[in-house]
């Protein structure tokens, strides 16, 4: 199950990529070029998606065990939907923290 990377439309997003083990590569061909994530090196790419939708990508660097499962999903939504999504995520995290504190 792949957790989507959620972004608002018409917003410039800067991604900082850095590998932790070997070279990986961010590649979502419908919305961005291929950008390598190299251990010990900060590499950057930018997104500015102009429409609501969902795009699939994958690691485009043959990087070893698990490579075939390195999927990417980018989901873009309107600014108001994105703001509501952020609030929903924050509330869910708060509820999870409260539940774990209560259970201890």
Q: Give the CATH number, domain containing residue 28.
A: 2.60.40.420
Structural domain count, the chain? 1
What pLDDT is recorded for position 1? Answer: 87
pTM, 2 dp: 0.85
- Any domain includes 70: yes
Element spanning 55, H or E: strand 53-58
Q: What is the dihedral of CA 98, 2, 78, 51, to 10 degrees?
A: 170
- The tens-digit pLDDT sequence of the chain (104 residues) is 899 999 999 999 999 999 999 999 999 999 999 999 999 999 999 999 999 999 999 999 999 988 999 999 999 999 999 999 999 999 999 888 888 776 66
Q: Containing domain of residue 52, as a range?
A: 5-77
- Any domain includes 84: no
- Any domain includes 62: yes
Provide CB contacts within 8 A for 99, sequence distance 6+: none
């Amino acid at each position: 199950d792949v957790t989507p990377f959620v972004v608002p439309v018409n917003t410039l997003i800067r991604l900082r990529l850095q590998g932790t083990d070997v070279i990986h590569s961010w590649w979502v061909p419908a919305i961005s070029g291929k950008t390598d994530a190299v251990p010990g090196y900060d590499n950057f790419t930018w997104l500015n998606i102009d429409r609501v939708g969902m795009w699939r990508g994958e690691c485009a660097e043959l990087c070893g065990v698990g490579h075939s499962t390195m999927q990417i999903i980018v989901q873009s939504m309107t600014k108001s939907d994105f703001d509501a999504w952020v609030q929903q995520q924050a509330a869910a995290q708060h509820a999870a923290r409260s539940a774990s504190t209560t259970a201890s």
